[in-house]
Amino acid sequence: MAFLLKSAHIVDPALGLDGVADVLIEGDRIAEVGPDLAAEGAEIIDLTGKYLVPGLVDMHVHLRDPGQEYKEDIESGTRAAAKGGFTGVCAMPNTDPVTDTGAIVQYVKTRAAEVGHCRVYPSGAMTRGLKGEALSEMGDMVARGAVAFTDDGHGIQDAGMVRTCMDYGKMFGKVFMSHCQDNSLVGEGQVNEGVVSTRLGMLGWPAEGEEVQIARDIQIARLTGARLHIQHITTARGLALVRAAKDEGLDVTCEATPHHLFLTEDAIDDTYPTVMKVNPPLRTAEDARALALGVADGTVDAIVTDHAPHAAWEKAREFAFAPFGMTGLETSLALMITHLVKPGVIGYGRLVELMSIAPRRILGVEEVRIEAGATADLTVFDPELAWTVGADGYESKSDNCGFDGESLTGRATDVFVGGMRTLAGGSVC
Ligand code: DOR
Ligand code: ZN
């Protein structure tokens, strides 16, 4: 199958590309990039007015499969990813059973190959059962295709256990991704500890509960020489710790979510909206501002969604009993365009670094350049398309989206994964 993509605005900062050209896809590869291309027999797609960029990758997604398919499964989760413009996602291991052996990694890969609408890069647990007590089967998982290790959903409480994981697991060359949460400080915390927790009478989840483990894991990464990636960073002081680690030359990266950038604790009022219950919690406006600055200055390496689908009945419970998490795959790109690119905080080149180049580099998965010979994993979006979140439903099985009803600008229209069309004119194929 061949596609001739005409007149798209191509942005690829890795090649210094920022201008209009045509792209010819033949089979699973880009065959040619240049002006006024022609190709006999290729399907021609006019992309005038649209942007074409290296395929977006979301390196923090909960597909819930195996074991919690009532929330999401690999088919529906990757369908939501394609709708949002992604060509690949990194699946978190807090499945049931936990992804802590090669067999589960193999299941995720096999299932994704059968029913997936994008590539799925499985991550494996650092500790068995995410319990923080014993090593997972790291080598077995890497042999089956795990790209990273994480106990996401849980902070590992014992510093010595983190050291053991890194000392042993670093031989595989994969990144260690930390969900930073000190249980002795966080306890049953529900929302950011401060004004809102006090006003609403809910237990607080303090910034320090996150920052203590960010600091600790940076120290242990220095001690062991392992690669460290801080997941869903939320506080100004946490970001300062990462900035200092980078200045020191450590191999430390971090990610931020659109919900921690564009929502704050002030979204939680006396209607107790459980859709706003996320882990780590929505923080202060000052923290969100610091994150946006970090996105612009390069301290934040990657934008991720932490797409965390939950069934409606689970979120319909009292705040304290509702699970943490909101969906994100279908809104991430549009939120970034609307709130950071359009106002001029970042340009499209930086957007591509955050949502495509850095996630691939950190995960160590194939890099994609808009040039002949590269794998044809491509995202096309219309930067002017205005739409309302949720107005035409969601591809995800769950609808716990914290941005429901918001008017956004910019949306993915076409996606190619290995030369196969997964999104065509805004519809998942
Ligand atoms: O909000 C969250 N939900 N944060 C996490 O770390 C886990 C996730 C989930 O699995 O629902
Ligand atoms: Zn997490």
Tokens of 190: 């529900």
Question: Quick check: 28 and 55 in contact, CB under 8 A?
Answer: no
What is the reported pLDDT for 1? 86
Distance CA 429, CA 416 (A): 10
Going by DSSP bridges, is the β-strand pair 43-46/2-12 parallel, antiparallel, or unpaired?
parallel
Question: Quick check: 303 and 233 in contact, CB under 8 A?
Answer: no
Tokens of 260: 């921690």
Closest-CA residue, ligand 1 atom 1, reads 325
Distance CA 285, CA 193 (A): 14
Question: Quick check: 130 and 177 in contact, CB under 8 A?
Answer: no
Ligand nearest to the CA of 152: 2
Going by DSSP bridges, is the β-strand pair 17-26/29-34 parallel, antiparallel, or unpaired?
antiparallel
Which among 268, 306, 319, 396 is the best mutation to test ligand 1's pocket, defined by most ligand atoms within 8 Å of the CB? 306
Whether 326 lines ligand 1, by a CB cut-off of 6 Å, is no
Q: How many CB atoms lie within 10 A of CB 250?
A: 18
What is the reported pLDDT for 74? 99
Whether 94 lines ligand 1, by a CB cut-off of 6 Å, is yes
Ligand 1 atom with minimal separation from the 278 CA = 1
Ion ligand 2: residue ranges with CB closer than 5 A: 152, 179
Sequence letter at residue 165: C
User: Which positions are annotated as active-site residues?
Assistant: 306
Supply angle C-alpha 141, 143, 145, rounded to 5. 70
CB burial string 175-186: b at 16+ within 10 A, e below: bbbbbbbbeebb
CA of 7 to the centre of ligand 1 (A): 40
CA of 279 to the centre of ligand 2 (A): 6
Closest-CA residue, ligand 1 atom 2, reads 325
Ligand nearest to the CA of 233: 2
Which among 152, 179, 275 is the best mutation to test ligand 1's pocket, defined by most ligand atoms within 8 Å of the CB? 152
Ligand nearest to the CA of 278: 1
Q: How far is CA 90 from CA 105, 124, 209, in A?
A: 12, 10, 25
Whether 280 lines ligand 1, by a CB cut-off of 6 Å, is no
Sequence letter at residue 41: G
Q: How far is CA 93 from CA 13, 74, 171, in A?
A: 32, 13, 20
pTM: 0.98
CA of 104 to the centre of ligand 1 (A): 20
What is the reported pLDDT for 202? 98
What is the reported pLDDT for 315? 98
Closest CA to 56 of 83, 30, 21, 75: 83
Closest-CA residue, ligand 1 atom 6, reads 153
What is the pLDDT tens value at each position of the chain, 429 positions in all?
Answer: 899 999 999 999 999 999 999 999 999 999 999 999 999 999 999 999 999 999 999 999 999 999 999 999 999 999 999 999 999 999 999 999 999 999 999 999 999 999 999 999 999 999 999 999 999 999 999 999 999 999 999 999 999 999 999 999 999 999 999 999 999 999 999 999 999 999 999 999 999 999 999 999 999 999 999 999 999 999 999 999 999 999 999 999 999 999 999 999 999 999 999 999 999 999 999 999 999 999 999 999 999 999 999 999 999 999 999 999 999 999 999 999 999 999 999 999 999 999 999 999 999 999 999 999 999 999 999 999 999 999 999 999 999 999 999 999 999 999 999 999 999 999 999
CA of 117 to the centre of ligand 1 (A): 23
